[in-house]
Structure 1
Amino acid sequence: MDHLGDTIIRIGPALVIVMVVLAGVAVAVNVAASSGHGRETVIAVIRAVVQLSALAAILAVVIRNLGLSILFAAVMAVAAAATSASRLTGGHLRKSTSPLRTVALCLLPVALPTAVIMAAVVAAGVVPASGIAIIPTAGIMFSSAMTATSLAGKHSHDELAHRYGEVEAALSLGFLPRDARLALIKPAAATALIPGIDQTRSVGLVGIPGAFVGMVLGGASTTAAAIMQLFVLIALLAVSAIAVLVTTEMVSRELL
């Protein structure tokens, strides 16, 4: 057994049993509470098992090659965009809208901010041009942008659906369609930034982030781990802010 992994969690039969029980609790509570997410929780757990198993096998190969690492990052970007697209097409978009078109549009808020920031920090020498550095860093940013896009898009569409009369009123006053919708959805979409802001302001007080723990377990000093974690958190704030801005603009123009 890996001594570093054994430091934070003991891998063995007991761990498997605990994970199965916890997954069962999550599903049971969702079903009992009629949240509508019982089946979705089961699917999420199964997908996590399959995807993490595949990830471990794939990374063992691609992480040693820069070209393959960049290709893998591109696959992550498409997967993140597809996840946001599936969330946004949950009854809000016109039935005639092409799913592939929606995924392609979601690449703008999900992938573009991460691609630009990663290119900049690699060029500046802040992040080494290697798979072991690029894949996890880009993955964290894609995940944050994906969450921000999904939340901003869903909240925006919910506002438009519940308060469309206000949009009509603004149009009657001479507002352009884009401006009428944007004024309504901006505050709702901005709530997608709250999780990232709260995480950053409470880091080290409420919880210790994974990047920090991973670096310390890998042998880095606590100072180096703290600096790395600070970089990640600030980068996530930037990525999320751009993702929300782009998503809000696209929803106001009825592109998403």
Structure 2
Amino acid sequence: MGSTTVVIGPALGVAAVLAVVLAAAVAAGARLGVARSTVTAAVRATLQLGAVSLLIGAIVGSALASIGFVLVMVVVAAWTGGRRMTVDRSGWWALIPIAICPLPVVGALVAGGVVPASGIAVIPMAGILIGSAMSATALAGRRALDELHARRGEVEAALALGFLPRDAALEIARPSAAQALMPALDQTRTVGLVSLPGAFVGMLMGGATPIQAGAVQLLVLLMQVAGATVAVTLTLELVGRGMIRRPVPVG
């Protein structure tokens, strides 16, 4: 039986370059305004994944180094998620929804023996959950703040009716912020029918049986839904309380 792993060689590099060129060319032709960003993102991904691959290979044998790497991931995710919502320093509050679910969940999985207590298992699992929480936090916060800005008159009307500031903000922002859960829910609903997610494919290519790969992927998806739900709820609360905000325009 042949190898199930991707062959690293010139053909892989050519395929990657062609994918970037195609994406940039289509974006430029359609005037989407993201052609340059596409190339920049590809270059950054190449450099970052190269560096991270070497780093992970060096630290997976150390539990403390692996934990430190996960904490760095949380900080970078909070910085990125915060910038997606606001230029204000209040964006750092994104650290709470991004960290409060993934870290305890991964710890519980390790303690319960579901995930091996090794860096090669903990780092990918934590990365998946942190990335999902970051996306949910950034999307929920951005939509909530956009909605509050666009419907400021309705917020003021609710305040005039006696609503507390938090309650008035949540009443307006909640439906829009809840849409941030749709990507995780849609992926869970359609798994196996529309797409085969990365964890499933990666385990199959690594030699796991389809049953093992399916079990791990199911766990990942359900953990992502739980983490995204907690992240969206906490983000909405932080926005409602004015802890995550946008600077008020002058003039």
Q: TM-score, normalised by structure 2?
A: 0.91
Structure 1 unaligned spans of 5+:
none
TM superposition shift of 1:140: 0.2
Matched pairs, number? 243
Q: Once the two structures are superposed, what CA deviation does each residue of 1:103-149 show, in whole Å capped at 9, x if it has no partner?
A: 3x111011121011111111211111111110000000011001101
Task: Note if 1:102 corresponds to 2:99.
Answer: no
**Of 87, 94, 106, the match for 1:118:** 106
1:75 equivalent in structure 2: 72
The whole-number CA distance in structure 2 between the counterparts of 1:32 and 1:168 is 44
The whole-number CA distance in structure 2 between the counterparts of 1:119 and 1:18 is 38
The whole-number CA distance in structure 2 between the counterparts of 1:164 and 1:227 is 46
The whole-number CA distance in structure 2 between the counterparts of 1:37 and 1:157 is 24
1:235 equivalent in structure 2: 223
1:202 equivalent in structure 2: 190
Task: Note if 1:159 corresponds to 2:150.
Answer: no
The whole-number CA distance in structure 2 between the counterparts of 1:161 and 1:34 is 28
Give the AA of the match of 2:38.
T
1:57 equivalent in structure 2: 54
User: What do you get for the CA RMSD once the two structures are aligned?
Assistant: 1.6
What SS does the aligned partner of 1:216 have? Answer: helix
What SS does the aligned partner of 2:101 have? Answer: helix
The whole-number CA distance in structure 2 between the counterparts of 1:174 and 1:83 is 36
Structure 2 unaligned spans of 5+:
245-251
1:35 equivalent in structure 2: 32
TM superposition shift of 1:254: 1.4
75-84 or 10-19: bigger deviation: 10-19
The whole-number CA distance in structure 2 between the counterparts of 1:133 and 1:243 is 23
The whole-number CA distance in structure 2 between the counterparts of 1:28 and 1:162 is 34
2:248 equivalent in structure 1: none
Q: Once the two structures are superposed, what CA deviation does each residue of 1:26-80 show, in whole Å capped at 9, x if it has no partner?
A: 2233334343333332321121011100011001111111111111111111111
Q: Is the 8 Å Cα contact of residues 5 and 206 (structure 2) preserved in structure 1?
A: no
The whole-number CA distance in structure 1 between the counterparts of 2:35 and 2:143 is 22
Give the AA of the match of 1:147.
S
**Of 5, 19, 22, the match for 1:22:** 19
**Of 177, 198, 201, the match for 1:213:** 201
The whole-number CA distance in structure 1 between the counterparts of 2:61 and 2:95 is 26
1:254 equivalent in structure 2: 242
**Of 152, 156, 159, the match for 1:171:** 159
1:4 equivalent in structure 2: 4
1:222 equivalent in structure 2: 210
112-121 or 229-238: bigger deviation: 112-121
The whole-number CA distance in structure 2 between the counterparts of 1:131 and 1:214 is 17
